[in-house]
Amino acid sequence: MAAPDGLSRELGGHPGSGSVLLGYIHGGIVRAEFMASVLNAVAGPDRTGLIGGVVDASAGPLIAMARNMLVMRFLKSDLEWLWCVDSDIQFGTHVVADLLQAADPVTRPVVSALYWIIAGGEQKPAAFTAGPDADGELHFAHLSTWDAGEVIEVDGVGAGCLLIHRSALETVRAGDDGRAWWFREVSVGARELGEDFSFCTRLARHQIPVHLHTGAEVGHVKAVLLGKPAP
């Protein structure tokens, strides 16, 4: 299996032969922790051989466009799985194997690793349940409880560390008349949805489930402010 010509980054002289294309988007700069993870996964002593290539996409501040470019480049390959990893994620070499073990092209075609974000000043998982709020508007709530190591179906996840089978992407594209609109910022009623949530709603329209693997945890590197800001 091969990544698209001219797009594979066969790092360290050890091209993979696996079924996974590792893809990331960026604005020209990536975190050192992320790139160290990529190098270890592709060329390090603990590499798994599951990664068949690495591809990137950039569209400046247009995150949705960059994600869609990444998907289009993946679909030009003959690889089976797209592993989207944001450039501020730090991961171990075992994560891709953990996600693949939990995934299935039919029953679990989209599986996210567990990672955390800051919301309301607290650390919360980037995994969500959806339902109407008191006004009947669509509301996403952070997942609050799970069993350790559980693979659980959820209504929404971030796209920071997401394994996607090509069949799910092809189904969504066919449902949009062949347009490359997997990721788009949209409005649902009075609520604005980011490109990751809207992708999950598109999957739901086609009855494609989204799962979270709570045993596959990765780091999310974010800047924090120490001390009192200047007035």
Tens-place pLDDT, residues 106-150: 999 999 999 999 888 889 999 999 877 777 677 788 998 999 999
Q: Residue 191: what pLDDT?
A: 67
Instruction: Provide the sign of the torsion angle of the four alpha carbons 16, 171, 63, 128, taken in this order.
Output: negative
pTM of the model: 0.88
Element (H, E) at 85: strand 81-85
Q: Cβ(166)–Cβ(100) under 8 Å?
A: no
* pLDDT confidence of residue 227: 84
Say what the alpha-carbon torsion angle 104, 41, 160, 87 is, to the nearest 10 degrees. Answer: -160
CATH superfamily to which 11-219 belongs: Spore Coat Polysaccharide Biosynthesis Protein SpsA; Chain A (3.90.550.10)
